[in-house]
Structure 1
């Protein structure tokens, strides 16, 4: 199938991976390393997709295969309908990668970085949008400044701009906010959201799980070269059948009432009672009724819902080998 034909067919997915495997051959008696063990996943077009996993899980290997930097051992992958091997050029034109490393030429200005990258992708000068992209990333006033003079946050934004010179449909961000302060991180995410709202599919890898939970509509978790979860964010979190309620009592107590013993609560500072429970088995109203039956008066309460960090730890720790 030609690259043109593949694009004409269209697909609801920006990325399709099927049974992708990568084995690094061992040397000097070292056994082979199976980095990817038959990964399959779909990334919908226009989505903000998180690709999460602990160090060494296989995320970078997957990204490098998609970008053409590493050869797969077996399996298939398509970017916007283009096979990464059969339609290699079209697949790579559809993809922009923002690496974790700040790989900018220190002696190029921001505009020169953009122009050089556009030349590598064969973008005609008449079709280049260097100034428009720099403006979109808030770098207009830094267009003629050397890359070495830019702050860390601005360099991150320039990396995103650099990855957008050929107007890819899919943008992969590999730990884009590593080492970036809170203010610059918020600015970067503002620009990335605008790209996503304009139709660019965003694939994010990050160790800041609160970012993934807030930004991404779908999450895949990879561990030991396998996909252990791939679902919409809300659905993934809803599977965690666990909540915590902390009650602040009116007066101190020295022991737990018998009627609450089955909840196995913990008591701190004499009047802070914490109970972990499964909503599928116990309702909060039942807990409060038992508290009242025990003769305890409540002056305040807080609840804690499970978050992405809880899901991540649960799914990766259960797969340890």
Structure 2
């Protein structure tokens, strides 16, 4: 559905302090297959939204090429717009107009043959029929997000862009929206989803890429990316962190000091842990706490960039 190579975008801002140039996207490649959820994971300011806005024809890339739903991004942007739905971070739900009216307007803009029937269909699909005639300002955050997605899907596009779709939602509404997104995939819709939520990317995405400072630092399935880092992570609080890291290196794939803890990446934590404890004891290193966990996408980000996704300014 999407084949993109070398996408770049630079913004120039002017203020009293002078002109500032920001390289928002510095050469992004991505491929999205038909009927999959592909995630773009990264901290705020990493270039996720800029990438999606380029692919959705809202802004023009400074460099790079892309073919989306069979159409060239530069040569035929109008054809691409007919093939996709786009839901921005803000959602785009108007306060004074009913959900039904907003969805029907979107259907007419996209020249849907039966706008009334298409509107009724997406209202039913997203459990919005009971609130369809209420103005947008009376809807909850979760309801507004569902209305926004219904607006993006009323013309039945094969490709849907979701930019930070669950930001600001409570856990129950997030889980509900996750299920709706899974149903889209099961119905054959390809979804490109940007997020800074680690659990969201892990649970939803068939494949994903991790971006930082406008560059792709890792790509693959969530499981494969975590296996690449290590099978397990042992987190230690111990005196003399640097000496402890050197002591445990022979027993680990990698050791990394992260602020006041030592992370030890190993293939099999349960069987490696006794050897680590013996090595620390032999060196007279005092241990205050220990935790054994499976690798997470935050560990992948840490391994690729030298800092955690949380430290980079994203929500956990």
- TM-score tier by shorter-chain length is 0.7 to 0.9
Match in the other structure for 2:6: 19
Match in the other structure for 1:62: 51
Say whether the 8 Å CA contact 1:79–1:95 is kept in structure 2: no
Give the length in aligned residue pairs: 281
TM-score relative to the length of structure 2? 0.79
Indicate which of 201, 204, 212 corresponds to 2:201: 212
Secondary structure of the 1:239 match is helix
Residue 206 to residue 313, structure 1, CA distance change in 2 (3 Å)? same
Residue 287 to residue 184, structure 1, CA distance change in 2 (3 Å)? closer
Shift of 1:113: 0.6
Query: Which segments of structure 1 move beyond 6 Å, counting only runs of 4 or more?
Result: 289-294
TM-score relative to the length of structure 1? 0.78
Structure 2: give runs of 5+ residues left out of the alignment: 237-245, 252-260, 282-289
Q: Which structure's CA Rg is the greater one? A: 1
Instruction: Give the Cα–Cα distance (whole angstroms) in 2 for the partners of residues 291 and 230 of structure 1.
Output: 34
Shift of 1:162: 0.5
Shift of 1:236: 0.7
Match in the other structure for 2:154: 165
Match in the other structure for 2:284: none
Match in the other structure for 2:66: 77
Match in the other structure for 1:118: 107
1:35-54 equivalences in 2 (<5 Å): 35-54=24-43
Query: What RMSD in Å do the two structures reach over aligned CA positions?
Result: 3.1
After alignment, is 25-34 or 82-91 more displaced?
A: 25-34
1:222-241 equivalences in 2 (<5 Å): 222-241=211-230
Say whether the 8 Å CA contact 1:102–1:159 is kept in structure 2: yes
Deviations 1:141-176 (A, max 9, x none): 112222221111100100010000111111111111
